[in-house]
Amino acid sequence: MSRAILTLNAGSSSVKFALFVADKSVAPLFKGQVDGIGADARLKVKRPDGSTAEERDLDEARIRDPSDALTAILGMIDDLAPDAHVAGVGHRIVHGGVDFDGPVVLDEDTIDALARLSPFAPLHQPHNLAGIRAAQRAFPDTPQIGCFDTAFHRSHPWVNDTFALPRELYDQGVRRFGFHGLSYEYVCEKMSEIAPFHRDGGVVVCHLGNGSSMCAIRGGHSVGSTMGFSALDGLPMGTRCGQLDPGVLLYLMNQVPMSPEEIENMLYRESGLKGLSGLSHDMRVLLASDSHHAKQAIDYFVFRIRREIGAMAAVLGGIDGLVFTGGIGENADTIRERICDDMDWLGIELDEDRNRKNAQVSSTDRSRVRVFVIPTNEELMIAKHASSLLEREGR
């Protein structure tokens, strides 16, 4: 039997998973997801070369929550990897708060502490924890390892972490945390392989997808990020608003008026590209649309990214590399082109042909700042963290 690590990323209507062999090194066996939990559930599994290993509809009456989805995933593992022994289950957990700055083996006290952070990430944290509970039931004797999106940013300088609020609030945990850390960590690891000079210098990474953020990284360490106290801050996202004057919230509460629950729902689920366009949260739909509002939503998305590139460059004192990752960053060449247009003042010059092909290096040979397109792999980072932690603890 080969030693394997299963990774899970549980959401409200989907569970993403991957299986890695972890004997001498960590290598992928396959990855996939169950979509449409509670409605039209469907299982999709792909091999490392991108080919489809399995794809089928699931009995929606039986796939009502992450626990049901995990049951289907386990049956698939037995079929596709009968010689694999799951030695650990690694979980993506969005919020680790102040206390969790690295991977941990999850126990009841840890899970309780993470549950108290749910108000900071209501779209993600409760579903992450539900995935952990489901995995505990499926693997009662197997270590569950939590890996945190906030951990990478714990190296932030104080001036980036704090708000200009009464000091006692900072001590209570009201501070900037930053998110998408597992993605940024993977990008740094990949940069060490393909461009070590740039990785050791100043790099701005744009993680652009349904959730979007940017990070200023120097020498592999986060020194600034666009997301803050919650996963709402910074760039506009699929359904989230991004940066917002807090006076707007006071107005909504006192003058409209809206309840806290109504405001939360609007900010997390009805804003961003979806709210601005009135059409969709999906960038592919917006790019294909002739709608004036869809065009304006894209314009705002691009404008905010360009503005934050300037801010991140100031944090770093200049940049050596610009990296695009995430679903939009990796695939939407039109968005990358618009972001980099007329950025020669910063030393950025995009090569049209390379960019159109999603080339790993998409800048021109004479561009002072090298532009990279690097597909992220959060699952691999989770598997590596889980394997390393188990080895250190002699499991």
pLDDT tens-digit profile of 202-224? 999 999 999 999 999 999 999 99
| Structural fold of domain 2-148 | Nucleotidyltransferase; domain 5 (3.30.420)
* CATH architecture observed for domain 196-373: 2-Layer Sandwich (3.30)
- Can you give the residue ranges of every domain in the chain? 2-148, 196-373
pLDDT in tens, 362-379: 999 999 999 999 999 999
pLDDT in tens, 180-198: 999 999 999 999 999 999 9
* Rounded Cα gap, residues 54 and 52, in angstroms: 6
- Cβ density class 317-332: b for 16+ within 10 Å, e for less: eebbbbbbbbbbbbbb
Q: What is the pTM of this model?
A: 0.94
Structural contact between residues 336 and 343, judged by C-beta atoms closer than 8 angstroms: no
More confident of the two residues 38 and 225:
225
Q: Which of 35, 68, 149, 333 is catalytic?
A: 149
Q: Is the four-CA dihedral 366, 367, 368, 370 of positive or negative sign?
A: negative
Q: Which residue in the block uniquely carries the two structure tokens 């993403």?
A: 16
N-terminal to C-terminal alpha carbon distance within the chain: 16
Same-fold call for 2-148 versus 196-373: yes
* Least confident stretch, 128-137, 275-284, 318-327: 128-137
11 confidence band (pLDDT: 50, 70, 90) = confident
Average pLDDT over all residues of the chain:
93
Residues contacting residue 106 through CB under 8 Å, at least 6 positions apart? 91, 132, 144, 145, 146
Instruction: Based on the residue annotation, tell me whether 78 is a catalytic residue of this protein.
Output: no
* Rounded Cα gap, residues 196 and 204, in angstroms: 15
Rank 13-22, 28-37, 80-89, 159-168 by mean pLDDT and report only the highest. 159-168
124 dihedral zone (left: phi>0; alpha: psi -120 to 50; beta): alpha
